[in-house]
Amino acid sequence: MKLLRSTGLVWLLLLALPGLTVAAAAETRTFLNLDHEFPTGDANGLFGPATHYPSTITVAGVPGTVTKVTATVIDLGSSSPDDIDMALVGPDGAQVMLMSDACGVSPSRFEEVTLTFDDAAPSFLSDNGPCASGQVSTFKPSNYENPELDDFSKEGGGPPPPYTNALSALAGGSPDGDWKLYVLDDNAAAIGFTFVGWALNLEVEPPPAPAPTIETVTVPGPSTTVPTPSPSPSKPVPRAAPAKTGKRAAALAKCKAKKTKGQRAKCRQKARQLPL
Ligand SMILES: [Ca+2]
Ligand SMILES: [Ca+2]
């Protein structure tokens, strides 16, 4: 007889556990707002805050950390670019002046200009202009206004100073939230701006992915047969009785046929010597 006994095996499993991470590559995402913008301070559109003040891009559901920000103003035209004040405010409240009092006053003018503001650009916009028309160009944020005079809160109810001049001030936080572009014409003479929209370009480093790690888990293994232990030697083992042959009974039965008592006794004595 044998017994069945289940044994346990230890397996090494790869499981995703929080806490350990693997770096992921950054990627750039672009968001658009195509609301047409022009000054709304008077009936002729010569000065004052833009149609949407601010013009807002709401980013939602983008995990990770912003590592770089650039902004593009699409199809910008002006008969007096110096009038333009433009600031970008991030979800965390950082304020960057993209351009102010750049490219000269009327008769300096430009049209159909698409400007991207990028800290890594090789140069600034010209202070006194002219700035070329019909160009798709990239410049550093360019502010030629006396900082004491640059104040969106006084001229249009926008964010008060201070404003930085580096888009890097907008990096380091979550992409999610409201990104606000404030544009203002600060001079009642000449039309300062019209543009069809703007793009927000965010370089985002995704959140670290969970790294595989090792956890030990015990799971049931295959069954194993093992022999039954032998009986203890100190315990007596009963001896089996020999099987009956029937020879003795047959001989005794024949003894009844003997004639004399003596003959029957002698016969039984002989029969008892036979096996059962
Ligand atoms: Ca200004
Ligand atoms: Ca103006």
- Residue-wise pLDDT tens digits, 32-83: 999 999 999 998 889 999 999 999 999 999 999 999 999 999 999 999 999 9
246 vs 186, which has greater pLDDT? 186
CA of 187, nearest ligand number: 2
Please tell me the CATH superfamily of domain 21-210, with its number.
Galactose-binding domain-like (2.60.120.260)
195 against 252, higher pLDDT: 195
- Ligand lying nearest the CA atom of residue 87: 1
CA of 68 to the centre of ligand 1 (A): 26
Q: How far is the CA of 155 from the centre of ligand 2 (A)?
A: 13
Question: What pLDDT, on a 0 to 100 scale, did the predictor assign at position 154?
Answer: 85
Distances (CA, A) of 97 to 13, 57, 90, 185: 54, 17, 12, 14
Kindly identify the ligand whose nearest atom is closest to the C-alpha of 188.
2
Does 95 or 232 have the greater pLDDT score?
Answer: 95
Considering the chain, tell me which residue range(s) the CATH 2.60.120.260 domain(s) occupy.
21-210
At 130-158, the pLDDT tens digits run 999 999 999 999 999 987 788 899 877 89
Q: Is the model more confident about 184 or about 230?
A: 184
Q: Checking phi first, is residue 247 left (phi over 0); if not, alpha (psi -120 to 50) or beta?
A: alpha
For residue 115, the CA-to-ligand 1 centroid distance in Å is 18
- Specify whether the CB–CB gap between 81 and 104 falls below 8 A: yes
Distance of CA 46 from the midpoint of ligand 2 (Å):
4
**CA-CA distance, 82 to 269, in Å (whole number)?**
150
Ligand nearest to the CA of 39: 2
**Ligand with smallest separation from the Cα of 192:** 2
Cα–Cα distance measured from residue 51 to residue 183, given in angstroms and rounded to the nearest whole number: 9
CA 214 / ligand 2 centre spacing (Å)? 66
Cα 101 to ligand 1 centre (Å) = 5
Q: Report, as an integer, the average pLDDT of 222-232.
A: 55
- Please answer whether residues 134 and 127 qualify as being in contact, where contact means their C-beta atoms are separated by less than 8 angstroms: no
pLDDT at 164 over 90: yes
Ligand nearest to the CA of 86: 1
In the prediction, which pLDDT does 155 show? 77
C-alpha 185 to ligand 2 mean position (Å): 5
Q: Tell me the ligand closest to 185's alpha carbon.
A: 2
C-alpha dist (Å) from residue 84 to 78, 79, 222 = 8, 10, 79
| Among the bound ligands, the one closest to the CA of 155 | 1
Ligand 2 centre to CA of 96 (Å) is: 22
Confidence at 8, pLDDT banded by 50, 70, 90: very low
pLDDT surpassing 50 at residue 122? yes
Ligand nearest to the CA of 82: 1
**Portion of the chain with pLDDT greater than 90, in percent:** 57
Q: Three-state SS string across the chain, please?
A: CEEEEEEEEEEEEEEEEEEEEECCCCEEEEEEECCCECECCCCCCCCEEECCCCEEEEECCCCCEEEEEEEEEEEEEECCHHHEEEEEECCCCCEEEEEECCCCCCCCCEEEEEEEECCCCCCECCCCCCCCCCCEEEEECEECCCCCCCCHHHHHCCCCCCCECCHHHHCCCCCCEEEEEEEEECCCCCCCCEECEEEEEEEEECCCEEEEEEEEEEEEEEEEEEECCCCCCCCCCCCCCCCCCCHHHHHHHHHCCCCCHHHHHHHHHHHCCCCC
The encoded tokens of residue 87 equal 């600031």
Please give the distance, rounded to the nearest whole angstrom, from the Cα atom of residue 186 to the centre of ligand 1.
6
- Give per-residue pLDDT as tens, 111-121: 999 999 999 99
Ligand 1 centroid, distance to 2 Cα (angstroms): 97
| Sheet-wide strand order for 110-117 | 27-33, 197-205, 65-78, 110-117, 136-139
CA distances from 22 to 12, 204, 206, 208 (A): 21, 16, 11, 5
For 45, left (φ over 0), alpha (ψ -120 to 50), or beta?
left
Crossing angle for the helix pair 261-271 and 247-255, to the nearest 10 degrees: 180
Neighbours of ion ligand 2 (CB under 5 A): 46-47, 83, 185, 187, 190, 192
